[in-house]
């Protein structure tokens, strides 16, 4: 169980950090004084902000999101299986 946790946790942790960073990046761009730029640059900023507002989630097998919530559900499932299979 410990080896599974050590394999899964870093991926989930850094995936969560990636999502937080992209969220902060949108706020930082919006907070910049982009309204004084040329119309072409403003257009690029607006397009970039719209692209960044979509939630960026890393998927495993294009199906399962890799987040800390996923990590906790995997740990919970492993603990449940250990308790069920534990000899009495």
- Which pLDDT band holds residue 1 (cuts at 50, 70, 90)? low
- Report the alpha-carbon distance of residue 25 to residue 52 in Å, rounded: 8
pLDDT band at 63 (very low <50, low <70, confident <90, very high): confident
The span from the CA of 43 to the CA of 40, in Å, is 5
Domain that holds residue 47: 2-85
Report the C-alpha gap between 35 and 1 in whole angstroms: 53
As for how many domains the chain has, the answer is 1
What average pLDDT does range 47-73 have in this prediction?
81
Based on its alpha-carbon atoms, the radius of gyration of the chain, rounded to whole angstroms, reads 20
Q: Average pLDDT of the chain?
A: 82
25-54 residue pLDDT tens: 878 887 888 778 899 988 888 888 888 777
pTM of model > 0.85 = no
């Amino acid at each position: 169980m410990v080896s599974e946790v050590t394999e899964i946790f870093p991926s989930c942790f850094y995936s969560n950090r990636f999502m937080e960073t992209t969220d902060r990046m949108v706020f930082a761009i919006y907070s910049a004084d982009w309204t004084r730029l040329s119309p072409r640059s403003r257009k690029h900023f607006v397009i970039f902000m719209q692209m960044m507002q979509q939630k960026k989630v890393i998927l495993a097998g294009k199906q399962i999101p890799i987040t800390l919530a996923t990590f906790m559900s995997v740990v919970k499932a492993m603990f449940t299986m250990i308790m069920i299979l534990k000899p009495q």
